[in-house]
Amino acid sequence: MSEKFYLTTAIAYASRKPHFGNTYEVIMTDAVARYQRACGREVFFCTGTDEHGQKIEELADAEGIRPQAYVDRVSGEIRGIWDLMNSSYDYFIRTTDPQHVRTVQKIFRRFYEQGDIYKSQYEGWYCTPCESFFTATQAADGKCPDCGRPLTQAKEEAYFFRMSKYADRLMEYIDAHPDFIQPELRKKEMVNNFLKAGLQDLCVSRSSFRWGIPVDFDDRHVIYVWLDALSNYITALGYDPDKSYEEQSEQFRKWWPADVHIIGKDILRFHTIYWPIFLMALGLPLPKKVFGHPWFNFGTDKMSKSKGNVIYADQLAQHFTVDGVRYYALSEMPYAADGSITFESVIKRYNTDLVNNLGNLVKRTLDMEKKYFGQIIPSPGAEEGTDRELKEACAAAYANLRACMDGYRVSDALGGVFEMLSRANKYIDETTPWVLAKDEAQRARLGTVLYNLMEAIRWGAVMLRPFIPATAEEILSELATGQTGFDSLGDAGCFGALEPGSRVGDSRVLFARVDEEKELAAFAAERQAALEAEAKEQPAERPEGCAMIGIDDFMKVELRTAKVVACEPVPKAKKLLRLQLDLGYERRQVVSGIAKWYRPEDLIGRKLIVVANLKPATLCGVESNGMVLASGEDTVRVVFLADDTPLGERVR
């Protein structure tokens, strides 16, 4: 029976299209998954999308659509990019999947019933983009320690998880499992900055917005997005919180615990502190390893749409092929330090490594094989010193590949393969096949040289399958060989799996050379077009408005803050909703024609502005005492207020 290997990415947040840095994670994880399969292991590779939270609710509100419709679109876009990058995932989970939702509710209930969760009041700093809570010490300057954006003060009723109950046990586990958190410097950050500093109880529910998994025994609360998202690693396997580990399904017991979670360094805290503690509370074994990879920066700056320096993987693939994008991502990201990407660096590495080193080696070797031997693989003859050096270079590259990939040093593994390819190119210069071909007495030597070159190319293609799979398969197809597995490689003594007398295929251009000047101009044009398209979304001129009024007229309109405490459709009126509003000093009923854009559950608990001194009106038989403030005509957007806005406050 083959060994099992379960690995995951962090599920991508379904708020925006993922940029190149986000996409790196799935490319790296796919390379690890393909490597593990090549080593003979049975692999389960899980990825997906994280689809709940305040940020998504706000983005959906801004577009005037329901959050589910918003995440359906973005999740589809993310999956499309994952597929374009040729990622070989086995399961794509969405946190809006009904089975995931039900299981997370059960997990929350179990934590509550066993005393790990209690209800209290949260007051402190919150980062909406990161969906993260921070103490005053962690956010001394009022900015998020992770993303640098301004934090907001949050105050609301919430449930809390007793993190301190498990803190000592987690420290003991990390001490006993030194490879649990990798790289080593990431482990030191987690231990020193969080565990040794003392864990505070974690807020695990929100009551100030609605887009999340409801707490099934207290529907005014939704489950904190990180408890929801982290649970995907076990819900994807069919975990049932009502059963012991021994009673779980065969699927779950087969794959859990995970062999590795591959995640970005910015979310290491959630995966190495919160997630292990949740698992301890469930009585489940912890994942064997959490690997926190670095970031891809644009040059030396963090990618940011506001800075105009965001690069997308699908955009690059149009210019450099999918394998070109995969190769750059995997070769340019160091083990622990941040990687860098610019259009100039992509072009340089593409032309140097893929066009020259790999592509030209394959094409000119097969062209010489066709010219001198009619595409029939010759038999190798006596070995000379240069032959032995080429064989040793192949064996060294393979040994390096195994050692590096087992330690998640992906760029080092790939670099070793390309060093071997460079050695093969040097071998051509040393042996000069075109000179040998002029002397019939050297034909046996010519056959040996071409055989060794094709065998070295085969070794390279087999080793490259985890990294640039489509190109590797193309090369192996041209060599017309069935020797495509790691079991055909090894030390220098294994060199020689190609069968003499078999026929190779025609050579093709694997990677076409890119003209740097033209490509940079094309990128500049694309960026300009994107900026112009974005500008067109803004109003070109001031729209026609109403007649000017004075301050006295404006002050006649009484605008007050209110909270929606109940909401339901008006019978036989498709456009109308009946809202019960709390103004602090009184409650009143307002009928609003917003049913096309909002469901009742989208509004309950939200704070908004109401025209409080509007004369009562009867709409479809229902009395309305006011009007909800909203913008738009074709698409209506209610003006929502911050959670800490006092009720009944006059708006001026």
Q: Which of 471, 494, 517 is the last residue of a domain?
A: 494
| Rg, the chain, Cα only | 30
Residues 471 and 574 in one domain: no
Residue 75 maps to which CATH number? 3.40.50.620
Question: Looking at residue 290, what is its pLDDT?
Answer: 97
User: Of the candidates 500, 494, 495, which has an alpha carbon nearest to the alpha carbon of residue 479?
Assistant: 500
Q: How many CB atoms lie within 10 A of CB 77?
A: 16
Domain membership of residue 544 (yes or no) is no
Residues 252 and 336 in one domain: no
Distance (Å, whole) CA 291 – CA 638: 43
Domain membership of residue 517 (yes or no) is no
Question: Looking at residue 569, what is its pLDDT?
Answer: 92
Residues 109 and 246 in one domain: yes
User: Of the candidates 408, 391, 577, which has an alpha carbon nearest to the alpha carbon of residue 492?
Assistant: 391
Domain membership of residue 567 (yes or no) is yes
Residues 387 and 268 in one domain: no
Distance (Å, whole) CA 319 – CA 8: 29
Residues 97 and 219 in one domain: yes
Residue 555 maps to which CATH number? 2.40.50.140
Which residues, including other chains, have CB under 8 Å from residue 59's CB and lie 6 or more apart?
Answer: 15, 70
Residues 333 and 254 in one domain: no
pLDDT in tens, 556-579: 899 999 999 999 999 888 889 999
Domain membership of residue 512 (yes or no) is no
Global pTM? Answer: 0.80
Domain membership of residue 103 (yes or no) is yes
Which residues, including other chains, have CB under 8 Å from residue 50's CB and lie 6 or more apart?
Answer: 10, 11, 12, 13, 14, 95, 225, 228, 229, 232
Residues 441 and 583 in one domain: no
Segment (H or E) for 319: helix 313-320
Which residues, including other chains, have CB under 8 Å from residue 316's CB and lie 6 or more apart?
Answer: 20, 324, 325, 328, 346
Residues 564 and 490 in one domain: no
462 is in which domain, residue-wise? 322-494
Local structure of 111: helix, strand or coil = helix
Residues 326 and 465 in one domain: yes
Residue that the structure tokens 């509003």 belong to: 581
* Rounded alpha-carbon distances, angstroms, from residue 335 to 182, 252, 265, 408: 10, 31, 12, 7
Distance (Å, whole) CA 334 – CA 317: 22
Q: How many domains does the chain have?
A: 3
Residues 132 and 170 in one domain: yes
Distance (Å, whole) CA 87 – CA 93: 15
Residues 284 and 427 in one domain: no
Residues 29 and 109 in one domain: yes
Domain membership of residue 647 (yes or no) is no
Residue 338 maps to which CATH number? 1.10.730.10
Distance (Å, whole) CA 222 – CA 158: 9
Average pLDDT of adjacent 10-residue blocks, the chain of 652 residues: 92 95 96 98 98 95 96 97 98 98 98 96 78 69 74 85 94 94 90 82 92 95 96 98 94 97 95 97 97 90 74 94 98 92 94 97 97 97 95 97 98 98 98 97 97 98 98 97 94 92 95 93 82 56 57 83 92 89 92 90 91 89 91 83 89 84
Question: Looking at residue 547, what is its pLDDT?
Answer: 61
Domain membership of residue 108 (yes or no) is yes
- Kindly state the DSSP code that residue 154 receives in the 8-state scheme: E
Question: Looking at residue 541, what is its pLDDT?
Answer: 44
Is the separation of the CB atoms in 94 and 36 below 8 Å?
A: no
